[in-house]
Structure 1
């Protein structure tokens, strides 16, 4: 595995404190976030790299292993186990001496098949990564390419993926030791908030503003959905805070083709401003009729 300098990625040196790491990560994350660089593939790769670096260096245990073992830090426990086994074996070796050498060789040959130590196979370390999606992107089944330790991995993201949902890609983690199986890759999806729509499960919630006259007399208004504009009929005497449901205009259900949630629209009423004298007079007359 090629060595990745996590300190260099975060523009830090090895003496950096936890506060330094946190500050550096936040600074670079704001600069390289995919939502701010939607068409910059290089920025997207760098964003993934700083996430990976932050995940390791912000964890004291992982950082300690990384500083000690470098590119092999994820196999630290396996190396330590092997070191302990070799130490125990060397202690056993000291019990044999002089004319016992032949017996020593026979002893290990009976255990390992020959006079050398047979190395055990170990499963590779699992990888963890985060992938950020916009709410709009999470509505559609699409493909994305991830770069993990210099290797491109093309994945299909089903429509309706949930915020903080984790999927496992078997065998895409660190390679095994001595021919052991590779670890797995766990991807956590981060769905960024939308300024106009709130998602709860498979339903979406939004607000629509209508003017006072439409609210009182009824009429039509056009609202935005994540799939385009929709024209709505407004009933006469619609009250502030009235909520309506648009069936099937919400979020697709994860891995259930054709199933879609609903969109709930809450009406807000915009009062007229900068009234003319004539308008004020008319509203005054209306207030007297009350």
Structure 2
């Protein structure tokens, strides 16, 4: 049989390693080579046993001292180590500290079933019009939420009685049991099924809440919507969700905001976009116009010769930043020349005269009406 490897070499630590260093090194190796994670792999199983043997010795100050002085010979008579002499009966304590989750609980890392636990979060939504989202608003929403039962004051027990200590777990909310495995006897901890981990049992339940300690009630909750919120964003209201257990805090309420589109304005981030129709004369000669904004109409001078799709900016007329409402985006206005679809005779003649000054050709009209098909044919032979 091959000689045993040095225990420090097995764990990959130096002889000056602290207890914490040894535990950390073993935890890493044990998780890597555990047989349940490597089924059928004899090499992994051997490394797991080797690491566990090394940890069992080096984690015990007395055994470690003997090992440092005499090496493997300190346990040659079966005194806690050596080939075929390793006792796996202590492995449960080792796993209780390191693999509590793997074996269903145990050790110092497990969560106390009676510890205060935060309540569940609730979700709802609210619909705003465009300006409400831009400038902020307070909304009131209806929610059905759990509240402390007034009949039993939240104990869950019938009036005049009190919950009793669970006889199975003695009030701890957890039960320990031993499990025989290929590595020895392992102690595990699980939530007590008799009391559900509360440590208390209720013999006579409150008729109002049926022993839960809470009743469902419809409640109105005020929601302060900040200026600048956008479609699809959510607001978190701390402590407005479901109640916690064992004195834990209430959960949160998440309110998702949906914004109705505006008839004329379009939002992109903190900027607003608007299309302004103007006449040909206004585009050609220029004009001072009233431009709609979220704050009301503002005057803006259109320069002569303005082309369609020209864009100008109204600084600070956009959406407030949600984190600082004093800072606002801008409004971008796109000018579109609106061509009239119906003109009277005088307007047509004036436009023909105007067009003639540029040498342009336009449709000819006769007696205020479009030429008939026969007239068009005859014109073609002139």
Q: Same fold (TM over 0.5)?
A: yes
- Of residues 117, 122, 133, the one that matches 1:127 is 122
In 2: Cα distance, 1:269 partner to 1:155 partner: 44
Partner residue in 1 for 2:346 = 278
Structure 1 Cα separation of the partners of residues 325 and 349 of structure 2? 57
Distance 1:260 1:120, change over 3 A: closer
Residue of structure 2 aligned with 1:230, choices 298, 305, 313: 298
- 2:268 counterpart residue number: 200
Q: Quick check: which one's helix share is greater?
A: 1
Aligned to 1:161: 229
SS at match of 2:240: coil
User: What residue in structure 1 maps to residue 332 of structure 2?
Assistant: 264
2:271/2:329 contact within 8 Å kept: yes
Q: Distance in 2 between matches of 1:231 and 1:265?
A: 13
CA–CA separation in structure 1 for the residues paired with 2:225 and 2:333: 28
| CA distance in 1 between partners of 2:141 and 2:302 (Å) | 46
Q: Distance in 2 between matches of 1:274 and 1:194?
A: 29
Aligned mates of 2:225, 2:341 — CA distance in 1 = 48
Q: Cα offset for 1:285?
A: 2.5
Aligned length: 174
The answer to whether residue 278 in structure 2 is matched with residue 210 in structure 1 is yes
> CA contact under 8 A between 1:210 and 1:221: conserved in structure 2?
no
- The change in CA–CA distance for 1:273 and 1:162 in structure 2 (over 3 A counts) is closer
- Contact preservation (8 Å) 1:124, 1:180: yes
Quick check: 1:124–1:176 contact (8 Å CA) kept in 2?
yes
Local SS of the residue matching 2:284: helix
Matching residue of 2:88: none
1:208 Cα deviation after fit: 1.0
The structural deviation recorded for 1:120 is: 6.3
**1:184 and 2:179 aligned:** no
Q: Matched residues in 1 for 2:230 and 2:341: separation? A: 42
| CA positional deviation for 1:168 | 1.4
Aligned to 1:254: 322
Structure 1 residues 66-105: aligned runs within 5 Å = none
Q: How does 1:7-156 map to 2 (within 5 A)?
A: 121-149=116-144, 150-156=218-224
RMSD: 2.1
Structure 2, unaligned runs of 5 or more? 1-105, 107-112, 145-217, 359-382
SS of the equivalent of 1:258 reads strand
The offset of 1:131, in angstroms, is 1.3
Using the alignment, how far apart are the partners of 1:216 and 1:161 within structure 2? 40
Q: Distance in 1 between matches of 2:273 and 2:142?
A: 35
Comparing 167-176 with 148-157, greater Cα deviation is found at 148-157
2:309 corresponds to which residue?
241
Separation in 1, partners of 2:231, 2:268:
10
Q: Is the 8 A contact 1:221 1:232 kept in 2?
A: yes
After TM superposition, the score normalised by the length of structure 1 is: 0.55
The whole-number CA distance in structure 1 between the counterparts of 2:325 and 2:264 is: 26
For the residues of structure 1 that align with 2:318 and 2:132, how far apart are their CA atoms? 14
CA deviations on 1:62-111 (whole Å, 9 max, x unpaired) are: xxxxxxxxxxxxxxxxxxxxxxxxxxxxxxxxxxxxxxxxxxxxxxxxx9
User: How far did residue 195 of structure 1 move?
Assistant: 1.2
**Who is 1:289 aligned against?**
357
TM-score of the pair, normalised by structure 2: 0.43
